[in-house]
Amino acid sequence: MPPVLQFTHRNQVPDTAVKHGKRTKICDLLNETAVGKKVTVKGWVRTFRNNQFIALNDGSALQNIQAVVDFENTDESLLKRITTGACISLTGELIESKGKGQKVEIVVEDLEILGDADAEKYPLQPKRHSLEFLREIAHLRVRTNTFSTIYRIRHAMIFAVHKFFTEKGFYNIHTPVITGSDAEGAGEMFRVTTLDPINPPKTEEGEVDYREDFFGKETNLTVSGQLEVETACMALSEVYTFGPTFRAENSNTSRHLAEFWMIEPEMAFYDINDTMDLAEEFLKYLVNYALDHCHADLQFLDRRAADEEKNKPQHERSELSLLERLRFVLENDFVRITYTEAIDILRNSKPNKKKKFQYLIDAWGADLQSEHERYLVEKHFKKPVILYNYPKDIKAFYMRRNEDDRTVAAMDVLFPGIGEIIGGSQREERYDLLKQRIDELRIPEKDLWWYLELRKFGTAPHSGFGLGFERMMQFVTGMGNIRDVIPFPRTPDNAEF
């Protein structure tokens, strides 16, 4: 006869904390074969079927553990409180499971409700919710399989980034979040100020007097840690920064966030070719790490992506499954072509001739849009592509001028389904040329005097790049919208939570 279930509540029985103290993680139980062993697990109820079978999840694995309740001997008021979303602690004996995909299940001997979840009000039900709906409850969406999977993979990718660079002898540098300079020169910055917005102090000319502001000058949230990490590069040789970056660009797309995380390595003595090699090796390392360490989670996302594909029109369906796409990137060399070659391909492409591109390519010098990048990757080459040597006028001031005088040693890595995933360059290490470019673009020298000084004192050839972490997460998880690979997305008109 199964043991009689007792119900205890933290407030009523003070010793339950002791009784339930030692907890086994569900991930450890899934491989457990020690039938007869007594365990305590804690987690959130996913489903409770037939007043008998609890599927419990604690986030340590995608899979739930099944626990069996003896409902005949259990108080009905307790059974009612075992609802989807409730947090419970239970103790019981492991028995061999007859269910598929699990070796053991738990026969419940003691159960404690740690937190009720009002079944009428709890918004997550055991069915598929739309991603749009889940974004509105971003504080709860991590309790779904899709999002707990994404959060776990996100962690694995963060770890893999540090592992890759540590193994290569790079040093991790924390660069500031608040800065006085605009690294990308695109003027897309969020201002940081403590001035009274209604009545700010004014200069004699009637402008806001930022000398009175907290830092005694204008400051903003950083768009990139590159300029500051270059200072460390000029002493430690190989460094990287991995931090949040902020861009006030008003792009409501599936690949743009106003707050995103960027990994920016910076390497002394690397030229643009060395940098392309490193970028390719790095991306492959991350993909390989995910395949090696996130097996169950990726399989789940692979099935999920396959389901989504079924709802798409035939011509939009991807030829490869998620897992195939990941392996494909590992197994193939990235194509490397110059911007000039790319323009030739695009100019003669079908969508350009048939005026299918939103932005038609007619002349050298045009900035590439994501439709062009994706054409090159998905239609023309069907491989990741690295474009290099861009016109200097469409790239940032710090990029190294090439001998032709009209291009710079820039490189972008373009990925299927994503477009630009990495942007980087060799840096202009020659003082005179950098100063000239800063003047041409009318960038105030007072913001960059220290950056220029790096070229005065022991300058060195050096290069670096930035990987948008959420774009990488989109590629690895197959999620179509960047808002679904970061816990709390920041986009125009949206800073809830």
CB of 465 to ligand 4AD, least distance (A): 5
Considering only 63-71, 192-200, 435-443, 462-470, which stretch makes contact with ligand 4AD by CB under 6 A?
462-470
CB of 442 to Mg ion, least distance (A): 21
Q: Which does 264 bind (CB under 5 to 8 A by kind): ligand 4AD, Mg ion, none?
A: ligand 4AD
The interface mask with Mg ion, positions 406-435, x = CB under 5 A, is: -----------------x------------
CB 335 within 8 A of CB 341: no
**HSE-up (13 A, CA, CB side) for residue 173:** 27
Nearer to Mg ion, 58 or 264 (CB): 264
The region, left, alpha or beta by phi > 0 then psi within -120 to 50, assigned to residue 365 is: left
Sheet holding 238-246, edge to edge: 171-172, 238-246, 259-268, 462-468, 419-426, 407-415, 385-391, 335-338
Within 10 A of 203 (CB to CB), how many other CB atoms are there? 11
Q: Which does 464 bind (CB under 5 to 8 A by kind): ligand 4AD, Mg ion, none?
A: ligand 4AD
CB of 227 to Mg ion, least distance (A): 15
Query: Which residues sit opposite 311 in a β-bridge?
Result: none
The interface mask with ligand 4AD, positions 376-415, x = CB under 6 A, is: ----------------------------------------
Helix (H) / strand (E) element for 412: namely strand 407-415
The interface mask with ligand 4AD, positions 465-484, x = CB under 6 A, is: xx-x-xx-------------
Q: Which of 105, 110, 182, 184 binds ligand 4AD (CB under 6 A)?
A: 184
Query: Which residues sit opposite 336 in a β-bridge?
Result: 386
Position 262 contacts ligand 4AD (CB under 6 A):
yes
Name the 3-class secondary structure at 117: coil
CA 28 to chain centre: 27
CB of 481 to ligand 4AD, least distance (A): 12
Residue whose C-alpha is closest to residue 114's, from 210, 225, 11, 221: 11
Those residues with Cβ within 8 angstroms of residue 350's Cβ, 6 or more apart along the chain or in another chain: 356
Nearer to ligand 4AD, 262 or 276 (CB): 262
Residues making contact with Mg ion (CB under 5 A): 423
Residues making contact with ligand 4AD (CB under 6 A): 183-184, 224, 226, 247, 249, 256-257, 260, 262, 264, 420-425, 464-466, 468, 470-471
